[in-house]
Structure 1
Amino acid sequence: MAQRLLSTAMLLTVTATAAVACGGGGDDDPGQQVKANGRAALAGTSYTSDQLEQALLAELPGYRRAGEPDSGEYGGLKSIQNFNQLQRQVTIDKPRCSNAGGARPGSPPMDKSAPTAITAFVKDNGQNVTETLMAMPADAAEKHVSARVPPGCLTFRTKVGDQWADHKVFESPPGTIGEGSRTVGVSTLSGSSQLKTWYVVLRGRRYLATISLIGGAATRAEAEQLARLADAQAKRILP
C-alpha cells in the first residue's frame, strides 16, 4: 500500500511539475529547424544532440545510472513522449497553474525539433536525478531562466484516478549557476507519502540545462550542487 501511494505521489509530482526536459510544448519558429549529419541540429547553434549527449554527466557519487542516455530531437525522445502521455492522466484543480511547479511557467513553448540529450540516475532509496541539455540561443535560454511562477499558483492540487495530491511551490531568487539560473522546489503530499522535487534551470553558452531531483529527502542544496557539476561537465566538453 505504501509503495502504491509513493508511486502515485511521484506520478502526480512529475506530471504536475513539468520541467524543461519533460514539458509538453509547441514549436518555436519552424523556419529555424535544420538537420545535420542525420542528427538534430538547430540553426543559430553549434551543438548537435550527439555533442550534447557527450556533455552529459557520466556518473554521480552515490547514484547509479538508470539506463542509457537518450538524444535526438526534443519531441521525438521516448522520455518526452512518455511524459506527455502521463500528463494527460492528471487533473489539476487550477487549470491556469498546469505548469506552475515546473521550471518554465510563462516561458516560450519548447521547440520539438531542438537538439536534446537526457540522462538519469537513481539511488538505492529511490531518489532520482535527471539531467537534460538542450541546444538553444542565449536570448531564448534567458527567457526560460527568468520565468516565474504565476500569481496564485504557489499551491494547487492534482488528481490521478481517485488519488489526490497537494502541492506547494517554493521559488528561489535568481541564481548564478552557469550564466544564470533558476531554482524551483515542489513539496507533494499524497495520502501518507511525501515527495520533494527540486528543479534547477541554468543557461550556458548556446544551451539550456535542467537538473531535476526527486525524493523524500531531496534538498535544494543537493540539486544546486548537481547543477554545478552538470555545468562544469558541459563547459569541459562543449566548445
Structure 2
Amino acid sequence: MTHRLLPIALLAAAAATTAGCGGGADQGPPAQAAGRAALAGAGYTSDQLEQALLTEPSGYRRAGDPDSGEYGTLAAIQNFDQLQRQVKLDKPRCAAARPGGALDRSVPAAIATFAKKGGSSLTETLLALPDDAAERQVKARVPAGCQTFRTLVGATWSEHEVMEPPPGTLGEGSRTVGVVSTTGGSNTKTWYVVARGRRHLVTISLYGPNATREEAEGLAGQAIEQARRILP
C-alpha cells in the first residue's frame, strides 16, 4: 500500500505516498482544466515520466509493473483513497490541512513500487508540475499541533509521531518528513522525501521497521539523477 494509514494531506507529499504526494480532495471540471494547462506548461507525459522512474534501486526488487496516467486515476492512489475513508483521526483538522495546497489530480504521473528483505517497501512517484506548483509542495510544512496524532482502523488504534527536519537541498529544493507509527507493541517508520526537479516533482516513500532518513534521502537522490538523465 503506497501510503499505509498515514493522512497524506497532513504530510503534503506523493504520492506518497507516496506518494506520493497530494491528497484525496475531490476536484471538479475546473481543476481538470487546470491539469491540462499544467501538462502544457510542464511538457511531460505520463509515459515519459514512467520511463524516468527508478528501475533497480540497490537492494530492492520491483513489486509489480509501474503505473502511469493522470494522478487521480492511478491504482495506488485510488486504493489509498479507499483506505483513507476507513481511517478515523483523533485530530480531524490535521487530516483536512493541505499546507502545500490540494494537488491537481489530473496531472500526468507515474508510480513504481519496490520491496526489500526485512519488510521494507519503497514507492517512487513522479509528477509533471509547473515549477511554482512543485515549489509549493516542497515548501509546505506540517501544521502546528499535528506532530502527533492517533488513527483508528476498525477497533485498532495506532499512535503516530511526525519528525520534520529543516528543508533540504536535494534536486532544486526538497523536504523530508518522517513518521514513527506504533500499533500495540509494533513500531514502523515511514520517511517521505519530496524534491523539485525541472518541471516535475520527485517523491519517495520508504516504509518499514528499519526505514531511515538517510536511506530515504539516498534513494531520493538516485531518483532525481535518473529523472534528470531521462527527462529532456
TM-score normalised according to structure 2 size: 0.90
Quote the RMSD (CA, aligned, Å).
Answer: 2.1
Aligned-pair distance for 1:26? 3.9
Structure-1-length-normalised TM-score: 0.87
Q: Is the 8 A contact 1:63 1:122 kept in 2?
A: yes
* Gap regions ≥5 residues in structure 2: 18-22
Q: Is the 8 A contact 1:12 1:165 kept in 2?
A: no
Residues of 1 paired with 2:4 and 2:135: CA distance?
A: 29
- Give yes or no for contact 2:66–2:112 (8 Å, CA) kept in 1: yes
Aligned position for 1:134: 127
1:124 aligns with 2:117: yes
2:188 to 190, 195, 198: 195
- Whether 2:156 is the aligned partner of 1:163: answer yes
Does residue 109 of the first structure (1) align with residue 102 of the second (2)? yes
Whole-angstrom distance in 2 between the partners of 1:14 and 1:153: 11
Aligned equivalent of 1:43: 40
- CA shift, 1:192, in A, is 1.1
Show the 5 A alignment for 1:8-157.
Answer: 11-13=4-6, 19-21=13-15, 22=17, 23-27=23-27, 29-34=31-36, 42-98=39-95, 105-157=98-150
Instruction: Read off the aligned partner of 1:47 and give its amino acid letter.
Output: Y
How far apart are the structure 1 equivalents of 2:25 and 2:174?
21
Cα distance change, pair 99–190 in 1 and its aligned pair in 2 (3 A): farther
How many residue pairs match? The answer is 222
* Higher Rg of the two aligned structures: 1
Encode CA deviations 1:43-76: one digit per residue, 9 max, x unaligned.
2111000000000001111111000000000111
Aligned sequence identity (%) = 60
Q: Deviations over 1:100-123 (max 9, x none)?
A: 7xxxx4111111110000000001
**Measured at CA, do residues 229 and 11 of structure 1 come closer, stay the same or move farther in structure 2, by a change above 3 Å?**
closer
Per-residue CA distance 1:75-119 (angstroms, 9 max, x = gap): 11111100000000000000011167xxxx411111111000000
* SS of 1:183 mapped into structure 2: strand
